[in-house]
Structures are given as structure tokens and as C-alpha cells.
Chains A and B, each alone.
Chain A
Amino acid sequence: GAVVSQHPSWVICKSGTSVKIECRSLDFQATTMFWYRQFPKQSLMLMATSNEGSKATYEQGVEKDKFLINHASLTLSTLTVTSAHPEDSSFYICSARIPTDTQYFGPGTRLTVL
């Protein structure tokens, strides 16, 4: 149980385009999902907290107009990187929280912006 999927697993896009990443909780409902970013050989940094039916809460320094988050249902949150640039290339990981306060993580999405 507590499986989280992400799609796509990797994506390559041109600079200036937008990319959408989906995060789904497959076997449970998640009122809260989180988005993290991981640079190569580094730790995960929390970007934002996504609550179903409400606006996401962004961490300091994360541009909310660049990283659009939508949590339309209890099993789906999306992260859209708008007008992507090479510096946005990274590994994006989502997690979903179960009621016992444990977060289960998706496999991540590798974004490369050319």
C-alpha cells in the first residue's frame, strides 16, 4: 500500500516551454501532497505544500508564478514549470501524506531543459 506515482519519469524540453508533472496517490487519498527538488548528489529541498482544493503554500525563494501547483483531487497534484530555463533542470519529487503523518514519495521526474 501507499504507492505514489509520477509522470513522466523524465522529460526533455526546449527553453521557454512549459512542462507539467503529475503526482498520483494510487491506493489512498491524500489531502496533502508535497513537491521537492533534488539537485545532483544533493539533498531534497521542499518547494511547496499542496492541499486539495486550496492554493499551494510555497517555501521562501520558490517562485509561485514559475512553479504552478494544482491539487484538483485527493489523488492528483500537478506541478507545471512555466517558461522553463536550463537552471530549472533538476529532479522533481512529490510525496503524499497519509493520515498517520508519514509521507510516501514518488519515483521522481528528471527534467532537462535545453
Chain B
Amino acid sequence: AQSVTQPDIHITVSEGASLELRCNYSYGATPYLFWYVQSPGQGLQLLLKYFSGDTLVQGIKGFEAEFKRSQSSFNLRKPSVHWSDAAEYFCAVGGGGADGLTFGKGTHLIIQP
């Protein structure tokens, strides 16, 4: 069965500091990997996705993620966070096509001034 683990429930980062959110997945075939962000009262917004090709993918808002097959990981990074990045971040895996997504439990990002 497929699964996604986001080991950090909460992360606190100072504004301007770098950020890395961890995501590990279990999937029986080639995974389609996604990072979404959910702000209070907002829907999920796609930050970036990985289907194939270059393992370092660039997304919106200055985020990037690196797919490491050997580690079954797809960690999200940002070199310098802004106060507006405070939100809930979800990593998800799917098989494409008509497959729904399996989500991790989410990481709540808190930005300190």
C-alpha cells in the first residue's frame, strides 16, 4: 500500500532563514510526487510536482524539491522564507491517471520574526 510520511508535525523558522520540509514515500511503482500548501481558509495550492526527468524540480514562490529514489524522499526546500510562507504543507504521492492522491499528515510551518 502506498503511504507518505512527513516526520515533522511543526517546524519553526526565522524569517529569512532557509527551510527544508521532509517527505518520505512508499509506492510500488514510479511515483508521481507533489507538494501542496494550505493556508487557513484557503484551498490547497500546488507548489510543485515531479513525474520524471530532472530530479530537482522548481516550483512557485521560490520553492524547490529534490526526488531521491534511493532514499524514497522528496524534500521541499526554500533558501529564504517569508512571513507569508506560514501555512500547512502537504506532500502527496499518486500513480497518475485516475489514481487519487495519498497525502502525508502535513507539516505546520511557523515563521518567527
A residues neighboring B (CB under 8 Å): 4, 32, 34, 36, 42-46, 49, 51, 59, 93, 95, 97, 101-108
Q: Is B44 an interface residue (CB 8 A)?
A: yes
Residue of B nearest to A42 (CB): B105
Q: With A43-B90, A44-B90, A101-B32 as given contacts, are A32 and B43 in contact (CB-CB < 8 Å)?
A: no
Among A42, A49, A97, find the residue whose CB has the most chain B CB atoms closer than 10 A. Answer: A97
Partner of B103, one of A32, A43, A102, A108: A43
25 A-B contacts (beta carbon < 8 Å)? A4-B43, A36-B100, A42-B105, A42-B106, A43-B90, A43-B105, A43-B106, A44-B44, A44-B103, A49-B98, A49-B99, A49-B100, A51-B98, A93-B43, A97-B98, A101-B51, A101-B96, A102-B34, A102-B49, A103-B34, A104-B46, A105-B36, A105-B44, A107-B42, A107-B43
Nearest CB of B to A83, in Å: 25
Nearest CB of A to B32, in Å: 6
Chain B residues positioned under 8 Å from A46 (CB to CB) = 100-102
Docked CA distance A42–B88 (Å): 10
B43 touches A106 (CB 8 A): yes
A-B contact count (CB 8 A): 50
B residues contacting the other copy or chain, number (CB 8 A): 23
B residues neighboring A (CB under 8 Å): 32, 34, 36, 42-46, 49, 51, 90, 94, 96-106
Residue of A nearest to B98 (CB): A32
Docked CA distance A108–B46 (Å): 15
Q: With A43-B106, A105-B36 as given contacts, are A34 and B100 in contact (CB-CB < 8 Å)?
A: yes
Docked CA distance A4–B45 (Å): 11
Chain B residues positioned under 8 Å from A104 (CB to CB) = 46
Residue of B nearest to A59 (CB): B100
